[in-house]
Amino acid sequence: MPVLEVVTLVPARGPGEKPPAFPPGEYRLYRELPPDLELRLGRDEKYDVAVPEDDEVSRFNAILKVAGTDLLVERRGILPEFPDPPAAIYYHGKPLGSFTLRLNESFQIGRTTFTLRASAVPLPPKLDGTAPQQVQTRAREELQRTAFADQHLATKLYPIWGRLGAYTEESGLFDRMVTELHNALPRVQAVAVVLRPDVCPTGPGGDVEVQVLAAKSHGPAKGEAFRPSRKLVKAAVCDHFKSCRYEWPTDANAATDMTLTGHIARQPDTAPWAVCTPFQDGSNFALYLTGVEPHAPGSPLARAVQDDYQKFAEVAVQMAESVRDTIRLKRKLALAELAWPTPLRKRLDDPDKFGEQLRSAHKTQITVLFCDLRGYSRYAEQMGDDLHASFAPVQRALEVMSAAVTFNRGIVAGFRGDAVLGFWGWPEPLDDQIERAASAAQSIFEQLWGTIIDRRCGLGLTHGTALVGRLGALDLAPVDLYGPVVNLAFRLEEMTKAYGVGIVVSDVVAARLRADGNRDRFRLRDLGTVVPRGMANPLTVSELAPSTPIANYDSWLNGPAYVGRLRAWNEALKRFNSGDWEDAHARLDANEFAVDSAALYLKKEMDLLNRKRPPGWKFTPRKLD
């Protein structure tokens, strides 16, 4: 992830000049730039990239957006809440309104330089001798039991917790953390969040590369860099896994080894120090504080201040851990929600009630809809290894199916390859669930007919008793259905291939849809008394017509002659069911049924048996060549 390096120089003011809000020196931070996210830059600390140390930067100055490895920079316009023009942005020495910043290029606003980096800049690979192994280590439990010597510091923790707790993304969290601590701790001259590699060197020797993720520091000279003691970081995050503190000796030979090279003027009776506190959440992060106390090294006053700051650092790390845990938990929940059907996701807000419903499968009245595409296996084989191309139309079809189920308050139980299983009636029953399922079936058929693969899809719709809830093995128990009614939905969908129609429904569903209030909305015709494949009990199945005429789908059920033709159809079907196949065949030969796919199929079945129904014959529709 690209990183924006921000360096602000705060100059010393001369006699009579207004003192700066921040001590003179260099302030540096690194801000991660997530892709496809618009960020605001300004002096106001509420913005994504905040530069409060530079009073020449406007409160809201610019808009930033990552585009691959580049950064799009745009100076904000005149807004009602910001009627004055923002500070100029200089790119290659010229003021520009917008431009594209490349890696390792910079732009300037006021006294601040912004540089785009590929990542946070690691420290140079030289050994440092700043912290011998005799560091003072303190465990989290010990620091929790220790009271603040300066009780005023404790009151500064509450607003910090409120500001950090407001973060919903990790991006920017560390920037805010170091800014808050830098402002809250007046004797701290630098605050940073650092990262050590996944593998630490073993043994008392060795060195560890440290990456600075976010930092706030200041010093009297331009160009001086913040250099955390890598030995102190190693002691904290590799050797002891505890908060570690070191106080530099007063001899002049150690001057160049201090954390802030050149930032702290070495004077007698001062105590330069640094604290490194590791995160204990499984990450490789650590919080690093450094400063100088105007008291003799080792004196009770110097030790009391350093104890307080070490405790403050531990509490701040715990705050950040808690925020990161919350952010990760929200991410996990968002990912987990993707595995749940959309209508059930809101029930996760009441885990006690929903958990009780999921504890065991429930026996209830369920309406089941099964939708399958035709010819997908052959189509996928023809496409060969181009899996993305072959799956693209299927994915669109699955989205149409699931959206229709969800829109009608149904639940998608799962995808069976190129098919969708939806149901209604759980976790709460619906008075009109059969009508809702029928509307979903019509919507799916109307949208998919003639657009997917070989212009075909089939739907089976049933209603009956089923077990519903979390069903499956111990390691995978999704919300699913079990019962003959589910198998029947599959068999009815198979029958659409035989009859050449789009939607086949069971007798229970047809009876409900034929209610007086539904006659104009749902047009049906019986297709005969059948015994579904693999089952023993006969039932009457019916075709449900689309709600509107569809191009290239010939069906008199949508036409104005529906009532008259339905009467003629029912007479022919009555003869077919009773075994009077000669009469049935003649009636189905009429011009009105000349191109009717169901009529053609029934005539084929009769012709195969010479138009004589055998004794005990059971009709199991199957596709005929």
Of the two residues 501 and 304, the one the predictor is more confident about is 501
Q: Give the pLDDT of residue 9.
A: 84
Please write the tens of the pLDDT for every residue from 248-271.
765 544 444 445 444 444 455 666
- Tell me if 449 sits within 8 A of 420, measured CB to CB: no
Check if the beta carbon of residue 246 is closer than 8 Å to that of residue 232: yes
> How far is the CA of 270 from the CAs of 8, 186, 229, 248, 619, in angstroms?
27, 16, 19, 10, 100
The pLDDT tens digits of the residues spanning 59-107 come to 999 999 998 889 999 999 998 888 899 999 999 999 999 999 999 999 9
Type of residue at 83: P
**Beta strands 106-109 and 211-217: pairing type?**
unpaired
Q: Which amino acid is at 10?
A: V
pLDDT digits (tens, 9 = 90+) for 424-482: 998 888 899 999 999 999 999 988 876 544 446 889 999 999 988 777 655 555 677 88
- pLDDT tens by residue, 157-206: 888 888 888 777 776 788 888 888 988 887 788 888 988 877 777 655 55
Q: What whole-number distance in Å separates Cα of residue 325 and Cα of residue 168?
A: 11
Each residue of 21-72: pLDDT tens digit?
776 767 777 787 888 788 999 998 788 888 888 999 999 999 999 988 899 9
Instruction: Please name the helix (run of DSSP H) or strand (run of DSSP E) that holds residue 3, with its range, or none.
Output: strand 3-10
Query: Rounded CA gap, 89 and 162, in Å?
Result: 33
> Which comes out higher in pLDDT, residue 595 or 259?
595
The larger pLDDT score, comparing residue 552 to residue 57, is at 57
- The enclosing H or E element of 603 equals helix 597-608
CA distances from 100 to 96, 106, 115, 200, 577 (A): 11, 10, 12, 39, 76
Extract the runs of DSSP E, i.e. beta strands, from 507-593.
524-530, 539-544
- Cβ-in-10-Å burial (0-12, 13-18, 19+) of 596 comes to buried
Paired residues of 40 in beta bridges: 63
pLDDT the model gives residue 455: 45
In the chain, the domains with their CATH numbers are 1-121 (2.60.200.20), 122-338 (3.30.450.40), 342-559 (3.30.70.1230)
* Confidence class for position 220, pLDDT limits 50, 70, 90: very low
- Between 298 and 470, the higher pLDDT residue: 470
DSSP H or E stretch at residue 398: helix 387-407
